[in-house]
Amino acid sequence: MSKSFDVVVIGAGTGGYVAAIRASQLGKTVAVVERQSALGGTCLIWGCIPTKALLEHAHALKVIQQASEWGVTIPSGTPAINMTQVHARKDKIVDGLTKGIAFLFKKNKITWIKGTARLAGPGKVEVFEGDTQTLEAKEIVIATGSSPRSVAAVTIDHRRIITSDEAIHLKEVPKSLVIMGSGAVGVEFASIYRRFGSEVTIIELVNRLVPVEDEAVSTELEKSFKKQGITVLTGTKVAKATSTPSGVTVEAHPPDGKTQTISADVLLVATGRGPVTTGLGAEEAGIKMERGYIKVDELYRTSVPGVSAIGDVITLGTGVHPQLAHVSSMEGIITAERIAGKAVQPINYDHVPGCTYCDPEIGSVGLTEARASERGYDVRIGTFPFGVLGRGRMAGELEGFVKIVADRKYDEVLGVHMIGPRSTELVAEAVLALRLECTVEELIKTIHAHPTFSEAVGEAAHAAHGAAIHM
């Protein structure tokens, strides 16, 4: 027997479940096919939530380790982390949030069909879970996401050579950890395990950490990581990694050409994620693909009418599509609204905030100084350090800065890049500033409460006009 819905969404990650809720709010009958035993996808189960929970534990440990600075006396002994309790707390958070999505599905009358979905002809989705059932859909939304991928030289064995999927569950803190790749995932795990007590080496092929960020941010992070005792090898290629019964041996080629051999307990491969489309039948259904990703237009329509795709699994064919939870959710909302006949606008991907929750945190939006220059802007910069602020000193948070990239001609804010305390929260103001095509002058005239970290945004705007008040 087949069941009919207005919309069938494949995948209940942050793209799929948000698309489903929005479509239901707009009066559509909706089913979501998800093969995992919980809803929420990568973000809730393996990504944003468990990693940020671990980072909160690392932060708690940091505060306790620095207790004497706060005048807090700790009875004798060294503060230590108990991984069993850490995982129990983290897993409880994940469990609560995934159940929260199940509750939202009930509230919005969304049918969750557990199983693996495959496109089975126009308007048809087959679902396998023990037996097979066929769903009929006026519209299909593919939101099958991504999974970790390695490079040719390194084979993941999930024991000694692991991905983020295993790194969130390590029962013991490894004595030594090598991390390959310094994107958001790499540097977040570097912060977590360094604080937990591991000897951490981070290897990055490009000549700086967090290569997508503004260069000044990369330099500041490297300075801080080195101060924390993290070994940073940039411009270095991992040529080989071999698992042994007791650990892993990594052969690296640094820029000086001399081969370096590093032994460690664990190698974490954080070199990016690839699209999940195996068994989906996308190509057989005539959907145009590009490098394994599903090709969509600016409103997430695939080449097959009635089939849309959103989130980590897509490419717009215009450079790298950001694999971020909030991007997938916004794409889900736009897709649901388009399907429901509402007028929608494409996303401006220059206005997508990027947050990296390493220590110190990074928040950024818009053009970096280098990219603004490449696009031909007459660039003007304003930078202000957190350490000068009263709030920074009270919190003992003296690292980092806010950097504003602006266009000299029209005074428009083109990008804001920050590294330091609460940067992942402070960036929200910058996102709105870009969305509203704000000028530096408007940011200067925006009153920033005192004493707050947000004063650094206002002061960076003043600095862009050559007139920082407190510097």
Ligand X SMILES: Cc1cc2nc3c(=O)[nH]c(=O)nc-3n(C[C@H](O)[C@H](O)[C@H](O)COP(=O)(O)OP(=O)(O)OC[C@H]3O[C@@H](n4cnc5c(N)ncnc54)[C@H](O)[C@@H]3O)c2cc1C
**In this structure, how many other beta carbons lie within 10 angstroms of the beta carbon of residue 315?**
18
Distances (CA, A) of 169 to 146, 197, 424: 19, 16, 24
Residue found by looking up tokens 């409880």 in the block:
92
Which window, 217-225, 289-297, 319-327, 445-453, contacts ligand X (CB under 6 A)? Answer: 319-327
Would residue 450 show up in a list of annotated catalytic residues for this protein?
A: yes
* Number of neighbours of residue 185 by Cβ within 10 angstroms: 23
Q: Is residue 10 close enough to count as binding ligand X by CB under 6 A?
A: yes
Task: Tell me which residue of 402, 420, 360, 422 sits closest to 187, measured CA to CA.
Answer: 360
Q: How far is the CB of 185 from ligand X (least distance, A)?
A: 5
At closest approach, how far in Å is the CB of 91 from ligand X?
15
Separation CA 7–CA 35 (nearest Å): 18
Q: Which of residues 366-405 bind ligand X (CB under 6 A)?
A: none
Residue 164 or 383: the one with the smaller Cβ distance to ligand X is 164
Nearest distance in Å: CB 54, ligand X: 10
C-alpha span between 140 and 128 (Å, rounded): 17
Q: Taking CB under 6 A as the rule, does residue 315 contact ligand X?
A: no
Site string for ligand X, 113-142 (x = CB under 6 A): ---xx-------------------------
Quick check: 273 and 312 in contact, CB under 8 A?
yes
Interface stretch with ligand X, choices 14-22, 87-95, 132-140, 436-444 (CB under 6 A): 14-22
* Distance of alpha carbon 326 from alpha carbon 204, whole angstroms: 26
What CA–CA distance (Å, rounded) separates 95 from 92?
Answer: 5
Q: Cα(237)–Cα(284) distance, rounded to whole angstroms?
A: 37
The SS3 call for residue 135 is strand
CB of 352 to ligand X, least distance (A): 9
The residue (of 324 and 379) whose beta carbon lies closer to ligand X is: 324
Q: Does 58 bind ligand X (CB under 6 A)?
A: no
Candidates 14, 182, 218, 423: give the one binding ligand X (CB under 6 A): 14
Of 306, 160, 182, whose CA–CA distance to 246 is shortest? 160
Q: Which of residues 177-216 bind ligand X (CB under 6 A)?
A: 185
**Is 364 an interacting residue with respect to ligand X (CB under 6 A)?**
no
144 touches ligand X (CB under 6 A): yes
Residue among 321, 450, 465, 470 flagged as catalytic: 450
**Residues forming beta bridges with residue 179, ordered by sequence position:** 202, 268
Q: Which of 164, 315, 335, 368 binds ligand X (CB under 6 A)?
A: 164
Least distance between ligand X and beta carbon 43 (Å):
4
Query: Which is nearer to ligand X, 168 or 250 (by Cβ)?
Result: 168
Which of 143-151, 152-160, 290-298, 436-444 is the region at the interface with ligand X (rule: CB under 6 A)? 143-151
Return the HEC string of 360-416. CCEEEEECCHHHHHHCCCCEEEEEEEHHHCHHHHHHCCCCCEEEEEEECCCCEEEEE
CB 190 within 8 A of CB 202: yes
Q: Is 33 in the site for ligand X (CB under 6 A)?
A: yes
The residues assigned a catalytic role are 450
For ligand X, the binding residues (CB under 6 A) are 10-16, 33-36, 41-43, 46-48, 51, 116-117, 143-146, 164, 185, 276, 280, 311-312, 323-326, 328
